[in-house]
Chain A
């Protein structure tokens, strides 16, 4: 009985230390890679910012029971973060992005599209028309933390995510 116990106890100690080291090394390294790329993406996006105020926001309150419940303050501050998304032939140019902002930021997202559609940012519930030559400009004050999906309404696919943290 004692013999068995010893064997059982000895074996895992080695394994524990091995796994300890490997997991401490592995898990954070996977993550940090991800993070740095996101930061560079963010900076890139910041650089190619344009403050084009074509188009305007209007809440899509006609048929959204829930959205009526959300009162968003009118945004008066100038945006301090801005991003651009371009949709061409049913694809998001340069791939799908998650735009990261901090809570409290005033965000402006400009969406270009080669087709007439409506951009919908969930929960914040901005509904903005978009069309060729008439980009949609979404202005939000990032007050609710989380990740929020934005989609082209008629086309029915996601075009970006907004991450507020």
Chain B
């Protein structure tokens, strides 16, 4: 039980090398110059919404839905295997399938895949499958869902709890804990779906909400048409889709929570935090990390809240925070990529090893149970460049989205005014992100 319980970020005992100072300094300069260029030199008519329509490429063939069904069932089976592995597999974080699947394949893999391929979680989510199943069985009772559900704020709970388990709770990566967690979450969703229907229950599935936000970055868009007609696939400029994303307050909170959690993950790996937690164990460690997590999430959230307030005052737009919230999505993706890209590539290899023997019974289903992990698959220099480019890239796209949203809503002068608080908060996030990368 005490095995590997102090790992930040759930699994893995390898961290990326700190970035060199010149890389970080230049990244900071590029981000700043670009930010200020946005004020004077960027386009003056809204651009992204047009781009986000994209170019129609092909009709989605009928067999595609069969393909989706197959993937959905594979996903459901994997889900069941992971829960069972959590309960009956080896009670050891690195030897059990559950932690690697939850923290790497699901949390990071699906987030990245959503940003690249679009709304895939909606198609393959086991909760979606189960929820729709519940919809078929249950009798419509006509009861209207309570406000905490319809407002979407319930989505914040699973994201927060997940971060707490991942980054604060000292035993959060233990297979048994994860098994219980998934079980309770699933039962919770089913109960909600039973009572008010899956369409409402989906609003409490925080991961779906988060992945859907990230999916707006995807260069692929499926045009929703009537049921019978073949759907069309559109290809568009990557990241342009967020221009259409109208956020609610609760969706904004989910994105900010994810951003704050990722920031704390980086923060918890700095020497500063190492020195604070050294020698602390068990619940004392959990307490200190919980305080740290709440603190960093609060800093990230309050910074945005203040920017939103300032923006509201400058423009008279009461919905300022929500309107510009979409510009945080590329920043979140940049943070995610910088922090977790190597984890997915290196530690992620463990998935193929463990899936061959999911319950720790000495099986070798796919013949990969003894495959070695290639820890030098990608050089540390390349990892460093991906980190710098994703943080700065996320910032640049964020600035562009914010700029575009500004001129779309306001006349030019006011639009520029609206950008000062947004630029300030984005520069803050980026500089913070870069400083964390120096270790």
Residue A147 contacts which of B21, B277, B280, B439 (CB distance < 8 angstroms)? B439
Q: Does A68 contact B (CB under 8 A)?
A: yes
Tell me whether A66 and B285 are in contact in the complex, defined as CB-CB below 8 angstroms, given that A8-B40, A145-B17, A153-B2 are known contacts.
no
Q: List, in ascending order, chain A residues with CB within 8 A of B281's CB.
A: 90, 155-157
When the two chains form their complex, are residues A12 and B16 in contact, meaning their CB atoms are under 8 A apart?
no
Tell me whether A161 and B274 are in contact in the complex, defined as CB-CB below 8 angstroms, given that A69-B353, A146-B14, A148-B14 are known contacts.
yes
Q: Does B294 contact A (CB under 8 A)?
A: no
Count of residues in A whose CB is under 8 Å from the partner chain: 56
Q: How far is the CB of B254 from chain A (nearest CB, A)?
A: 30
User: Residue on A with the closest CB to B15?
Assistant: A147
Q: List, in ascending order, chain B residues with CB within 8 A of A158's CB.
A: 6, 274, 277-278
Q: List, in ascending order, chain A residues with CB within 8 A of B213's CB.
A: none
Q: List, in ascending order, chain B residues with CB within 8 A of A34's CB.
A: 438
The answer for the CA separation of A27 and B2 in the assembled complex, in Å, is 40
Q: Contact string, B35-57, partner A, CB cutoff 8 A, digits 1/0? A: 01101110000000000000000
When the two chains form their complex, are residues B376 and A144 in contact, meaning their CB atoms are under 8 A apart?
yes
When the two chains form their complex, are residues A68 and B6 in contact, meaning their CB atoms are under 8 A apart?
no
Interface positions, chain B 13-41, Cβ under 8 Å from A, are: 13-18, 21-22, 24-25, 28-29, 32-33, 36-37, 39-41
Q: List, in ascending order, chain B residues with CB within 8 A of A48's CB.
A: none
Q: List, in ascending order, chain B residues with CB within 8 A of A67's CB.
A: 94
Q: How far is the CB of A102 from chain B (nearest CB, A)?
A: 12
- Which of B67-75, B227-235, B236-244, B367-375 lies on the face that meets chain A? B367-375
Q: Does B216 contact A (CB under 8 A)?
A: no
Q: Does B109 contact A (CB under 8 A)?
A: no
Tell me whether A70 and B372 are in contact in the complex, defined as CB-CB below 8 angstroms, given that A24-B29, A123-B14, A156-B2 are known contacts.
yes
When the two chains form their complex, are residues B13 and A123 in contact, meaning their CB atoms are under 8 A apart?
yes
User: Residue on B with the closest CB to A3?
Assistant: B413
When the two chains form their complex, are residues B371 and A12 in contact, meaning their CB atoms are under 8 A apart?
no
Q: How far is the CB of B239 from chain A (nearest CB, A)?
A: 23
Tell me whether A63 and B21 are in contact in the complex, defined as CB-CB below 8 angstroms, given that A23-B28, A27-B28, A147-B16 are known contacts.
no
Q: How far is the CB of A116 from chain B (nearest CB, A)?
A: 14
The answer for the CA separation of A90 and B281 in the assembled complex, in Å, is 9
Q: Does B7 contact A (CB under 8 A)?
A: yes
Q: List, in ascending order, chain A residues with CB within 8 A of B3's CB.
A: 153
When the two chains form their complex, are residues B373 and A28 in contact, meaning their CB atoms are under 8 A apart?
no
Tell me whether A66 and B17 are in contact in the complex, defined as CB-CB below 8 angstroms, given that A92-B278, A145-B380 are known contacts.
no
Tell me whether A8 and B282 are in contact in the complex, defined as CB-CB below 8 angstroms, given that A31-B438, A70-B373, A156-B2 are known contacts.
no
A-B Cβ contacts below 8 A, count: 161
When the two chains form their complex, are residues A156 and B380 in contact, meaning their CB atoms are under 8 A apart?
no
When the two chains form their complex, are residues A151 and B6 in contact, meaning their CB atoms are under 8 A apart?
yes
Q: How far is the CB of B224 from chain A (nearest CB, A)?
A: 39
Q: List, in ascending order, chain A residues with CB within 8 A of B94's CB.
A: 64-67
Q: How far is the CB of A100 from chain B (nearest CB, A)?
A: 10
The answer for the CA separation of A111 and B100 in the assembled complex, in Å, is 30
Q: How far is the CB of B7 from chain A (nearest CB, A)?
A: 7
Q: Does B95 contact A (CB under 8 A)?
A: yes
Tell me whether A23 and B29 are in contact in the complex, defined as CB-CB below 8 angstroms, given that A63-B95, A146-B15 are known contacts.
yes
When the two chains form their complex, are residues A20 and B32 in contact, meaning their CB atoms are under 8 A apart?
yes
Q: List 28 A-B contacts (CB under 8 A).
A: A1-B412, A4-B413, A16-B33, A20-B32, A27-B24, A27-B28, A27-B434, A31-B24, A31-B438, A34-B438, A63-B90, A63-B95, A64-B94, A65-B90, A65-B94, A66-B94, A66-B354, A69-B372, A70-B372, A71-B372, A92-B279, A96-B278, A123-B14, A147-B14, A147-B269, A148-B15, A153-B3, A156-B6
**Which 3 A-B pairs rank lowest in CB-CB distance, beginning with the nearest?**
A122-B13, A31-B21, A65-B95
